[in-house]
Copies of this chain bind each other. A is one copy, B any other.
Amino acid sequence: MSELFGPLFAPARLREAVSARAWVAAMLEAEAALAAAEAEAGVIPAAAAAAIAGAGAIDPAALGEAAVASGTPVVPLVEALRERVGAEHAEHVHHGATSQDIVDTAAMLVARRARALIVEELDAVARACAALAREHAATAMAGRTLLQQALPVTFGLKAAGWLDATLDARAGLLRTRLDAQLGGAAGTLAALGDAGPAVAEDFARRLGLGAPALPWHTARGRVAELGAALAVTAGTTGKLGLDLVLLAQSEVAEVVAGAGASSAMPHKRNPGGAVRARACALRVPPLAALLMGAMAQEHERAAGAWQAEWEPLGEALGLTGGAAAGAREALEDLEIRPDAMRAHLDALLAAPGVAGGTGAAALFVQRALSRAEEELGA
């Protein structure tokens, strides 16, 4: 995400979580965990592991430039680490690992942190929806199908629908597997001898990631599933944004959804957060499609498809967070206008043959609220 446009899409802490700096930190964390696990297993000296853990930060831009020759940032990262730890420990840096082990593990660390931030945003969205559902459980309004007024609903039911969908998306996101990667050059851990499997498990444990049964260098279901869960989450908050944009239209005006300034037109109140949610939501499915399509990875390491994952995964994380944050902001700012809802509904009910009840709306609201209580706590 660019420094110019990024802030328009994702909150600062999400941009930071998927930034170049965060990726480099995660790669260093992976190298340190690898060394620690190897020291624990007696494969390398404990002093080497300590030196690697203490090597300090590395400038992402310099790493990026130095990565071109080899096609991977891990080659210059390992060089830099070796230089820092000195001749004594140099040979123990990155021992038995392949570049992909470090990049994939770093990706999962980045994803874990970004996911936690996204879930925070979703929690706030869900709480805001729950509050609206509760407060407006009996606020009647016109339901609209194909953008035509159809029959009565309640605003509470609408909010309950957003809530239930948000809880679904949240659950789906939390279900994604964030597993460490450690397989060595050909996925056999051969360079670690008998210690390989134990090192791999300890490596994952130290990082707080899952320990997969097998290395997954070219089995990219995890990444594609993560992309999909992000797209579903973005889509869920994007739908919320869409409803708000529509309800906030000048002619509908059943909500006021933000006070985005329009320099040229002071009479307007642009629904900024909702627009942001929609803009972000539009951008994630193509990224998810890329991650899905990139599952076609050759043999033991792909010649292009793996590399194509890196930036889109980070963007999908950031933009999904942006979609959720946009929805949250829109909900936080939201002003509900029950009178306008009522007026539209009254006009609708005056049409011949339009029935007036809201059926199970209150029950549905209750169900969504109960679920929210269960999954989010009080």
Contacts and interface: CB of A to CB of B under 8 A. Distances in A.
B299 A293 contact: no
A80 interface: no
Interface in A267-288: 267-272, 274-288
Given A190-B152, A304-B282, A147 B235 contact: no
30 contacts: A4-B63, A7-B64, A7-B65, A8-B72, A8-B307, A70-B261, A143-B188, A144-B301, A145-B265, A146-B271, A150-B185, A151-B186, A151-B190, A157-B188, A160-B214, A161-B218, A165-B219, A168-B219, A187-B364, A188-B360, A188-B364, A190-B357, A190-B360, A191-B359, A228-B228, A228-B229, A239-B297, A251-B251, A267-B352, A282-B290
A300 interface: yes
B281 A146 contact: no
A45 interface: no
A230 B289 CA distance: 12
Query: Which of A145, A251, A276 has the most CB atoms of chain B within a 10 A radius of its CB?
Result: A145
A248 interface: yes
A231 interface: yes
A225 interface: yes
A149 B250 contact: yes
B238 A295 contact: yes
Interface string A221-232: 100110011011
A1 B311 contact: yes
Contacts of A288: 228, 288-289, 292
A344 B38 CA distance: 32
A16 to B, nearest CB: 12
B213 A164 contact: yes
Interface in A136-177: 142-153, 157-158, 160-161, 164-165, 168-169, 172
A338 interface: no
Contacts of A281: 295-296, 304
Contacts of A228: 224-225, 228-229, 231-232, 288, 292
Contacts of A116: none
A312 interface: yes
Q: Quick one: copies of this chain in the complex? A: 4
Nearest to A164: B214
B275 A304 contact: yes
Contacts of A20: 2-5
Given A8-B68, A146-B303, A235 B260 contact: no
Interface in A207-253: 213-216, 218-221, 224-225, 228-229, 231-232, 235-236, 238-239, 241-243, 245-246, 248-252
A292 B216 CA distance: 26
Contact of A293 (B63, B262, B282): B282
Contacts of A302: 146
B213 A145 contact: no
B232 A292 contact: yes
A59 to B, nearest CB: 9
Contacts of A192: 359
Name, among A192, A216, A225, the residue most crowded by chain B CB atoms within 10 Å (CB to CB): A225
Contacts of A4: 20, 23-24, 60-61, 63-64, 67, 73
Contact of A285 (B280, B283, B289, B312): B289
Nearest to A304: B278
A354 interface: yes
